[in-house]
Amino acid sequence: AQSVTQPDIHITVSEGASLELRCNYSYGATPYLFWYVQSPGQGLQLLLKYFSGDTLVQGIKGFEAEFKRSQSSFNLRKPSVHWSDAAEYFCAVGARRDDKIIFGKGTRLHILP
Amino acid sequence: NAGVTQTPKFQVLKTGQSMTLQCAQDMNHEYMSWYRQDPGMGLRLIHYSVGAGITDQGEVPNGYNVSRSTTEDFPLRLLSAAPSQTSVYFCASSYPTGTGYDTEAFFGQGTRLTVV
């Protein structure tokens, strides 16, 4: 069964600073990997996804993530955060036919002015 | 295109009551699922379905039932509500592409359920 670990529950960065959110996964086959963002009181929005091919994936809002098979990681990065990036971020693994999408526990991002 | 629609948006139940959370999608997605979101726990998969007539259990299925009689609808039933089921519930759907079942989940806006 697949699983996802997001080691950081909370992260605080200053506006304009760079950001990296960590995600480690466990999955017995080629993983499909996702990052979602949830603003307070809102639903979930897909930031980016990795299915195959280039291991550096570009997403919306200036985010990117790099798939590293040897480290079982899919870390999310942004070179310069904005106050509007304050939200909760979820990494997820899955799905292929007859399988399921499993989410990590999330990382809440706080932005200092 | 309405996407994934959940009803109701808010609900208060008394312990022991039953109810059904509705989920409908108009994107002809084969895969539908239900998650619950609790503080510090992320999204935990309750049940999922890969097509009409097919359902399976996720991580936290106890106390919930599902059925999938049509492609469009995937209702979640609480048989006898308990305070531990107080949560925000999200329905999600996904689709297969031509290269296989490489999917992303499209989420509804959630149902906030309180059991007192």
Please tell me the distance in Å from A96's CA to the nearest CA on chain B. 5
The answer for residues whose C-beta is within 8 angstroms of residue A32's C-beta and 6 or more apart is A49, A50, A51, A93, A94, A95, A96, B102, B103
Query: Do residues A89 and A76 touch, judged by C-beta distance below 8 A?
Result: yes
Q: How confident is the model at residue B31 (pLDDT cuts 50, 70, 90)?
A: confident
Q: In this model, does residue A74 exceed pLDDT 80? A: yes
Question: If you count residue pairs, one on A and one on B, with CB atoms under 8 Å apart, how many are there?
Answer: 62
What residue ranges in B10-94 does DSSP mark as E strands? 10-13, 19-25, 31-38, 42-51, 54-57, 64-66, 76-78, 87-94
The answer for residues whose C-beta is within 8 angstroms of residue B62's C-beta and 6 or more apart is none
Name the residue in chain B with its Cα closest to that of A8: B40
The mean pLDDT value for B16-40 works out to 93
Q: Helix, strand, or coil here: A33?
A: strand
The answer to whether B59 contacts A52, with C-beta atoms less than 8 Å apart, is no
Q: Does A8 touch chain B (CB under 8 A)?
A: no
Range scoring the smallest mean pLDDT among A96-100, B24-28, B74-78: A96-100
DSSP A62: G
Q: Does B101 touch chain A (CB under 8 A)?
A: yes
Whole-number pLDDT of residue B25: 95
pLDDT in tens, B56-85: 999 999 999 999 999 999 999 999 999 999
Whole-number pLDDT of residue B103: 65
- Which residues of chain A does B58 touch, with a Cβ-Cβ cutoff of 8 Å? 100
Q: How far apart are CA A59 and CA A10, in angstroms?
A: 22
Q: Does B5 touch chain A (CB under 8 A)?
A: no
The mean pLDDT value for A87-106 works out to 85
Q: Does B88 touch chain A (CB under 8 A)?
A: no
Q: Does B111 touch chain A (CB under 8 A)?
A: no
Whether residue B8 is preceded by a cis peptide bond, meaning omega within 30 degrees of 0, is: yes
How many Cβ atoms from other residues are within 10 Å of residue A111's Cβ? Answer: 19
pLDDT in tens, A18-41: 999 999 999 877 788 999 999 988
Whole-number pLDDT of residue B1: 62
Q: How far apart are CA A47 and CA A35, in angstroms?
A: 5
* CA neighbor of B103 nearest in space, from A62, A55, A100: A100
Of A97, A101, A105, the CB nearest to B33: A101
Q: How confident is the model at residue A111 (pLDDT cuts 50, 70, 90)?
A: very high
β partners of residue B92: B33, B107
Q: In this model, does residue A96 exceed pLDDT 70? A: no
Instruction: Quote the tokens at residue B62.
Output: 């106890």
pLDDT in tens, A46-69: 999 998 788 899 999 999 999 999
